Amino acid sequence: MSDMPEPVRIDKWLWAARFFKTRALAADAVTGGKVELNGQKPKPAKTVHPGDRVRLRLGPYEHLLTVVALAARRGPASEATKLYQEDAESRTRRARLAEQHRIAATAFAHGEGKPSRQEREAVRKLKGKD
């Protein structure tokens, strides 16, 4: 018996690390080019090993990860975070981008729902359609 853990597919590892809700979504992300393994675009069946570098794009956010441990089964979130280590630079970049999105959302806030009858009449008067 060896101490080497059993190799795990990258789609299965991403699912076990709780980056995706299903393995199918993880496989689609790998196939779609959202995942890089050691600087290359892998196929979903590519195996990962401890020490591998994973770059993962989820929406506008990018995660730079180092594989620390392998898991073929999905467990609780506290266990999933032990499977990888995220770069500090990646974490700060993601936090900065999230803050920019939050500020942009407040800057372009829309009205508060449907206009009232008085507001609609005021708009009609401004447009000259009285």
The answer, yes or no, to whether residue 105 has pLDDT greater than 80, is: no
DSSP 3-state percent helix, strand, coil across the chain (nearest 5): 40, 20, 40
**CA 92, CA 82: separation in Å to the nearest integer?**
20
The answer, yes or no, to whether residue 4 has pLDDT greater than 70, is: no
Helix (H) or strand (E) holding 20, with range, is: none
Helix (H) or strand (E) holding 77, with range, is: helix 77-80
Single out the residue of 19, 12, 7, 15 nearest to residue 56, CA to CA.
19
Structural tokens at position 100: 């920019």
Structural domains of the chain ordered from first start: 1-90 (3.10.290.10)
Percent of the chain beyond pLDDT 90?
Answer: 72
For 54-103, what is each residue's pLDDT tens digit?
Answer: 999 999 999 999 999 999 899 999 999 999 999 999 999 999 999 998 88
pLDDT of residue 2: 43
For 52-62, what is each residue's pLDDT tens digit?
Answer: 999 999 999 99
